[in-house]
Amino acid sequence: MKKIAVLPGDGIGPEVMAEAVKVLDAAQKKYGFELAYTWADVGGAGIDNQGKALPEPTVTTCEESDAILFGSVGGPKWEHLPPDEQPERGALLPLRKHFKLHCNLRPAKVFKTLVDACPLRPDIAKDGFDILCVRELTGGIYFGQPKGRHGEGGEETAFDTLVYSRFEIERIARNAFDAAMKRGKKVTSVDKANVLTSMVLWREVVTEVAKEYPEVTLDHIYVDNATMQLVKDPHQFDVLLCGNMFGDIISDECAMLTGSMGLLASASLNAEGFGLYEPAGGSAPDIAGQGVANPIAQILSATMMLRYSLNLGEAADAIEAAIAGVLEAGTHTADIAREASTVVGTAAMGDAIVAEL
């Protein structure tokens, strides 16, 4: 019996989470494993119900669980709050820090049947691409100290510190090389070693770690060039290894280049394999409550959870195959609908995936 902390959050979060749980329930029956869910408030729901984006009881629930299944947080209702207290920053950054979730995995894959949704020209998109972004998530300029603000008038300054240690770089580099070993055996490390001292160390350490993986090819690319090459030819990449800030930027660019954000999941892992699993897209307040949101990213987040934290790879494979089957059959939510689609709502999509499973 595994314990799952279920944090649906705001906007479309609760709707798509319901479908993920529906699919997990079906998988439990089929594959004979047992999950116990504890639901908890996070984000705007945390603020509204318990006064803060990450209430203490939610943290306790997560601590007592084997994994966190996260929906999405944020919306116009909470945008007037100071940045620190807003749903996104107030919930995600402390969760990452508290559970030491240093390794963020963001697959950006174009589904074969949805290649025409890719915003790139067909001769560039070809038959789709498949990139895994590996982003360092608990260091760099997000958490580096000191941060501050001082002075007055025109002289007033505000500052942040981008800092990386050899240990932090080694750890995330190994995550990237390990992932590459199971894929295309190619790592492209994104840095700005021509300008930043921290990135000179980054490049050095990544180059050293590469020696432990003689089968994997390592390239280095400057972050500015990376944003260009992704647009010019995304097929050249297999695993993209990035620090926290560059990973934030590059993984979102990759996601949008697939043309189907509603299908992208992510995992944020610590060194022990505990993790937080969440869709790559946002809380989409504009369509919340209408039953039209695409639940697939949330369901794929659940399959990443089965694979990485619960060692249930077989069930994960089966759910992913079911999703591919449903998409190939032309059953699509509105966000990925095309001419020949049968357009369905959130719950019907969940049902279709369960049926296919």
Ligand X SMILES: CC(C)[C@H](C(=O)O)[C@@H](O)C(=O)O
Distance CA 241, CA 250 (A): 10
Q: Which stretch binds a copy of itself (CB under 8 A): 24-32, 87-95, 211-219, 327-335?
A: 87-95
134 forms part of the interface with a copy of itself (CB under 8 A): no
Mask of contacts with a copy of itself, 289-328, x by CB under 8 A? ----------------------------------------
Q: How many residues bind a copy of itself (CB under 8 A)?
A: 60
Mask of contacts with ligand X, 69-98, x by CB under 6 A? -------------------xx--xx-----
Distance CA 143, CA 161 (A): 8
Cα-based angle 27, 29, 35 (whole degrees, multiple of 5):
70
Q: Is 248 known to sit in a ligand binding site?
A: yes
178 forms part of the interface with a copy of itself (CB under 8 A): no
CB of 91 to a copy of itself, least distance (A): 12
SS3 106: strand
SS3 269: strand
SS3 6: strand
Cα-based angle 87, 49, 299 (whole degrees, multiple of 5):
60
Q: Please identify which residue in the block is written with the tokens 């800030």.
A: 245
38 forms part of the interface with a copy of itself (CB under 8 A): no
Q: What is the dihedral of CA 217, 223, 224, 225, to 10 degrees?
A: 0
CB 224 within 8 A of CB 66: no
Distance CA 109, CA 261 (A): 10
Which listed option, a copy of itself, ligand X, none, makes contact with residue 227 (CB within 5 to 8 Å by class)? a copy of itself
Give, as ranges, the residues between 296 and 335 that touch ligand X (CB under 6 A): none
Q: Is 135 known to sit in a ligand binding site?
A: yes
The residues annotated as belonging to the active site are 142, 192, 224, 248, 252
Cα-based angle 159, 164, 168 (whole degrees, multiple of 5):
145
Q: Which residues bind ligand X (CB under 6 A)?
A: 88-89, 92-93, 194-195, 224, 248
Contact residues: a copy of itself, CB under 8 A: 83, 86, 88-89, 93, 118-122, 124, 141-142, 144, 147-149, 151, 153-167, 170, 192-198, 200-202, 223-225, 227-228, 231-232, 245, 248-250, 252-253, 255-257
